[in-house]
Structure 1
Amino acid sequence: MPTTAEVYRALAEVYDPELDTPITELGFINEVQIDGGQVTVTYTVPTFWCAPNFVFMMSQDIRHEVGQIPGVHQVTVLVRNNCLADEINSGINAGRSFVETFPNDVDRQSDLEALRYTFIVKGFLARQDVLIRRMRQVGLSDATILGLRIGDVMVAGEDLLVQATPPQRIPLAAADLQRYLHKRRRLHLAMNVDAQLFTTVTDQPIAEADLPAYLRYSRSARLNIAFNTSLCEGLLRTQFFPERQYDYSSVGDRLMIE
């Protein structure tokens, strides 16, 4: 029988597509029920008007990730606090697509996977941007940063250790590396230890001369995610966690770097 810990590990792989943060870290999960091989996950989104396509994607991903756990043969996903929660829950648990769930409300050509790809790229750029800027802050040159391989960077608690000359510690960057590598996997980019750490979304090298313009572009994606994350976290706390309403910290804060 699957364990609660296994289910939460699977749920940690499910990201809010717009906020680029695991739904476990955002505090969306309300309850996990396990009955033999049947798992029911109940979660809450920050606002009643959260875009149904994003909510549908999260519910799809929950069903997929939890369904990969050995011993799980049925996954039920229930979202709360959304204007179309009943329709989404019905469609997801019947295995229907977004278009099949809303046949009269969306364009038959609507491509949820194209939208998903757009936001994966946005998250890729945001996490890449913050990692490069943190490395610059500790004195690594652009040439050194762009020459790093995946195996040159190791997690040390909340920090990163970079095998450079001399070695460097990057404070509070471990989570951003994990988010960034998550996006590389989703984009099917090279992930072996000898693969270049920083590339374009098509796995091409970034030229040193192009880096300033590249970072101006990626900065906009990063700030957009940071602001949206802070807003949604605040709304969630105000509605459902009154004891935290004066806690102004946010998982988006780590993206606020220049």
Structure 2
Amino acid sequence: MTKGCEVTLDDVRRALGTVLDPELDEPITDLGFVRSAEVGEGTAVVHLRLPTSFCSPSFAYLMASDAKDALDALDGVERVVVELDGHHDSALINAGLAADAGYVGTFGREAEESLEGLRSVFRRKAHTAASERSLAELLRAEPSLREGDVGRVRLGDLPPGRTTDALRRRREALGLSLDDDALVLVDHDGRGYAPDAVLMALRRARATRVSIDGNAHFCRGLLRTRYDGSGADQTPRLDGAEPGDHHHLIPLTVKEPTR
């Protein structure tokens, strides 16, 4: 986009699509967290919403702040307003964003020193989950490969595609090697595991991935329950874990006790 050109709503939504929920590791646009977006005369106004009013204030601030930064980076945008609706700390967060007060300036003594430590924790979790997804996909594609052998799998052994691309992005965010001969199953410093530790490392990675996927499914459902029609704003997960734009409750039958 050239400087001074008119910013469109599609530009705004693409920028917001780069903002991830730190815990769920999905774009806020896919999750349906963008309640509304408007743009005109160099001003972008965005309202965000979350599944509950008591979602972590740190997570809420991080997403709102990242959204504001993403929109500020658009050429042609001179003013950005990002507001969080329906959260118990909405007034505090919105005032801090408007004043560019930063995390500590917004929450004062209740804040941690910075959000970078929290951001780093969830980047590591996202990398762990992405590693497990890639290895699980490889295990399904190659039945002769055993779980105990995945400690020797290298990036160049993975099939090209969305799952491998996602893993490479997660590794890049942590500063890990992207060379084809780099091991896939590594710790957060890029070190591989001893043969007798591979299975436990893989199981921990699987537990992390299941936790992230389960939380994402749960939060999507909560949002649809809280905001009628919000399912239409959610993008079904590419792994097929989401039922689309609605959810179904399991029928419950209550039997009267016999006397």
The two structures have a TM-score, normalised by structure 1, of: 0.77
CA pair 58-243 structure 1, distance change in 2 beyond 3 A? closer
Post-superposition offset of 1:152: 6.0
Post-superposition offset of 1:179: 3.7
Report matched runs for 1:200-215 at 5 Å.
Answer: 200-206=187-193, 210-215=197-202
Give the number of the structure whose residues are more often strand, by fraction: 1
Aligned to 1:165: none
The answer to whether residue 224 in structure 2 is matched with residue 237 in structure 1 is yes
Aligned to 1:162: none
User: What is the distance in 1 between the residues matched to 2:184 and 2:20?
Assistant: 22
User: What is the distance in 2 between the residues matched to 1:196 and 1:243?
Assistant: 41
Q: Given residue 132 of structure 1, which amino acid in structure 2 is its aligned partner?
A: L
Q: Looking at CA atoms only, which structure, 1 or 2, has the larger radius of gyration?
A: 2
Residue 154 of structure 1: which of 150, 156, 160 is its match? 160
User: What is the distance in 2 between the residues matched to 1:216 and 1:38?
Assistant: 48
Aligned to 1:184: 171
The answer to whether residue 47 in structure 2 is matched with residue 60 in structure 1 is no
Post-superposition offset of 1:79: 1.1
Deviations 1:104-146 (CA, angstroms, capped at 9, x unpaired)? 4x15x53321011111111111121121111111116366884
User: What is the distance in 1 between the residues matched to 2:177 and 2:75?
Assistant: 27
Aligned to 2:89: 84
CA pair 253-31 structure 1, distance change in 2 beyond 3 A? same
C-alpha contact 1:229 1:251 (8 A) present in aligned 2: no
User: What is the distance in 2 between the residues matched to 1:192 and 1:36?
Assistant: 45
User: What is the distance in 1 between the residues matched to 2:207 and 2:221?
Assistant: 21
The answer to whether residue 140 in structure 2 is matched with residue 137 in structure 1 is yes
The two structures have a TM-score, normalised by structure 2, of: 0.77
C-alpha contact 2:45 2:81 (8 A) present in aligned 1: yes
Post-superposition offset of 1:182: 3.3
Deviations 1:70-121 (CA, angstroms, capped at 9, x unpaired)? 22233221111211111101101211122211224x15x5332101111111
Post-superposition offset of 1:185: 3.0
Q: RMSD between aligned alpha carbons?
A: 3.0
User: What is the distance in 1 between the residues matched to 2:41 and 2:172?
Assistant: 31
SS of the residue 2:80 aligns to: strand
User: What is the distance in 2 between the residues matched to 1:252 and 1:201?
Assistant: 25
